[in-house]
Amino acid sequence: MSTNQDQGRHGVVAVIREEEKLLVIRRSEFVRAPNLLCLPGGGIETGENFEQAMHRELMEELHLQVDIERHLWTSETRWGTKLEWLLCHRLPGSEPVANEAEVAEIYWLSIDEMRPRNDLLGSLPDFFYAIDAQVIRW
CATH at residue 64: 3.90.79.10
Range of the domain at 117: 10-132
Mean pLDDT across the stretch 68-78? 96
Asked if the structure places residue 4 within a domain, the reply is: no
Asked if the structure places residue 29 within a domain, the reply is: yes
Asked if the structure places residue 2 within a domain, the reply is: no
Question: pLDDT by residue (tens digit) across 81-103?
Answer: 999 999 999 999 999 999 999 99
Instruction: Convert 57-72 to b/e letters by CB count within 10 Å (16 or more is b).
Output: bbeebbebebebeeeb
Q: Which one-letter amino acid corresponds to residue 57? A: E
What confidence category does residue 8 fall into, taking pLDDT thresholds of 50, 70 and 90?
low
Asked if the structure places residue 1 within a domain, the reply is: no
CA 91, CA 44: separation in Å to the nearest integer?
Answer: 22
What confidence score (pLDDT) does residue 138 get? 81
Which residue intervals of the chain are DSSP H helices?
A: 50-62, 111-114, 123-132
Asked if the structure places residue 3 within a domain, the reply is: no
What confidence score (pLDDT) does residue 7 get? 47
Backbone angle region of 51, left / alpha / beta, with phi > 0 → left and psi within -120 to 50 → alpha:
alpha
In angstroms, the Cα distances linking 73 to 25, 31, 127, 134 are: 20, 25, 9, 11
Global confidence as pTM: 0.92
Residue 2 has pLDDT above 80, yes or no: no
Higher-confidence position of 39 and 8: 39
Which of 28, 35, 37, 15 shows the shortest CA–CA distance to 87? 15
What confidence score (pLDDT) does residue 121 get? 96
Q: What is the tally of structural domains in the chain? A: 1
Strands 82-90 vs 10-18: parallel, antiparallel or unpaired: parallel
Asked if the structure places residue 42 within a domain, the reply is: yes
Asked if the structure places residue 5 within a domain, the reply is: no
What confidence score (pLDDT) does residue 137 get? 87
Three-class SS of residue 115?
A: coil
Three-class SS of residue 112?
A: helix
Question: pLDDT by residue (tens digit) across 19-66?
Answer: 999 999 999 999 999 999 999 999 999 999 999 999 999 999 999 999
